[in-house]
Amino acid sequence: MIITVYIDDIKALHSAIEARHYREQFHISSCHESAWLTVVYNSGSKLKALHLIASTVGEHDLWYKTLKKLRQYRKEVTGGLAFLMSPDRKLNPEKAVRVIRRHWREAGGRQISEVDFAQVQRLCWKLNVHLSSNYLRDKFEVQLVCIGANVC
């Protein structure tokens, strides 16, 4: 059977000792505990669990670490500024600035003096900051006036 689980749908990863109750529920020997991985995910409106036993402990560790890193990266990419600046996130300010700069370059921005409205819109979209075009344009134009007048 083929099961497709998207990274965005993964709600939790349970490994080894954390997943003991799942393993015991299925009466699987404790010799498999170090290779056990349970992926809890959304499937439509239901929460499901996918239970896996890796061939080796090294393979288990690779899967577990890779899935954790993918989930973290996905949160960073889709969470935008709210994720980068959240108090529970242990991210130093320099890294947050690097992430925003990378998104800025990917949105087509070069230097601040070269900013145009379309680039600002793309950056906001990439950072998951959803503002109406009218609101964003008003803020963008006010900043241009302030910069031109050197009063901001």
H helix runs in the chain, sequence order? 20-25, 57-84, 93-106, 117-126, 133-149
pTM score, whole prediction: 0.55
Give percent of the chain above pLDDT 70. 64
Phi, psi of 85 (to 5 degrees): -100, 5
pLDDT at position 149, please? 47
pLDDT at position 145, please? 47
**pLDDT, tens digit (0-9, with 9 covering 90-100), for 94-115:** 666 676 677 667 766 665 555 6
Kind plus residue range of the DSSP H or E element containing 15: strand 10-15
- Compute CA 18 distance to the chain's CA centroid, rounded to the nearest angstrom: 23
Cβ atoms 81, 104 nearer than 8 A: no
Under the banding of pLDDT at 50, 70 and 90, the label for residue 15 is very high
Which domains are assigned to the chain? 1-79 (2.30.29.30), 92-152 (no CATH)
Which of residues 87 and 145 earns the better pLDDT score? 87
Distance separating alpha carbons of residues 96 and 101, to the nearest angstrom: 9
121-143 average pLDDT score: 72
Amino acid type, 27: H
Under the banding of pLDDT at 50, 70 and 90, the label for residue 48 is very high
**pLDDT, tens digit (0-9, with 9 covering 90-100), for 57-81:** 999 999 999 999 988 877 766 655 5
From residue 49, how far is each of 5, 85, 146, 150 by CA, in Å?
Answer: 10, 31, 54, 58
Q: Is the pLDDT of residue 91 over 70?
A: no
Torsion angle, alpha carbons of 112, 117, 122, 123, to 10: 30
